[in-house]
Structure 1
Amino acid sequence: KYSPYTSFMITGMFCKKHIYFDYKYYFENGKPKFHSVYDIKSDASGFNLASWKHIKAAVPKFSSDKSKATITVSGKWILGVAIKGYTIGASDAQDWTMSLTLK
């Protein structure tokens, strides 16, 4: 989704944040329910002054009726370069959250 970010006191106006994942679901009484969410990743595209590094994904949370999954990823914006896991420049840690409802 289009989502401007603010990091390092700079706003990225032409940026899209992406959270990718796979999921399995089943039907109960004719309604879809989440079975699992896995292989969660994130990235950013567009015109960015900084680059996004995905670090980890939290365990997904499900609504009580299992029709909605909420996913949070952690990462950092890097202004500079990362060499063998070390940042030369500056970094700003952020969490992104999104949800998906099955209908």
Structure 2
Amino acid sequence: MGDRLHLPDSELTAAGASLGTAAQEMSAGSSGRPSGSWDSLSGIGGAVDEYLRGVALARDALADAAKTAANTVSGLMSDSAELDAYLAQTVYSGYAVSKGTK
């Protein structure tokens, strides 16, 4: 049975360390990913690498979108406060309350 799957302990140890590093990096909020080639027994290493690059790109895009949205909301809140202050200074307080005649 020479065609058996052979996984040396050193390869498994390296894979475990790489997965541990990836988990630690992700939980720490880092955008890094394990370095090295993505060789695999089934030949899917290139597809896995492309997927991980897509995940990193999506994460960066979401971070940029969140930053833009936060800045926009902050600007809107500032504009609202300025408008409130301007209205308080400009509009006579008795203006809105008047007794109408029928």
Structure number having the greater helix percentage: 2
Q: Which has the higher contact order (CA 8 A, sep 6+)?
A: 1
- Which structure has the bigger radius of gyration? 2
After TM superposition, is the score higher than 0.5? no
Q: Please, what TM-score do these two structures have when normalized by structure 1?
A: 0.20
Structure number having the greater strand percentage: 1
Q: Please, what TM-score do these two structures have when normalized by structure 2?
A: 0.20
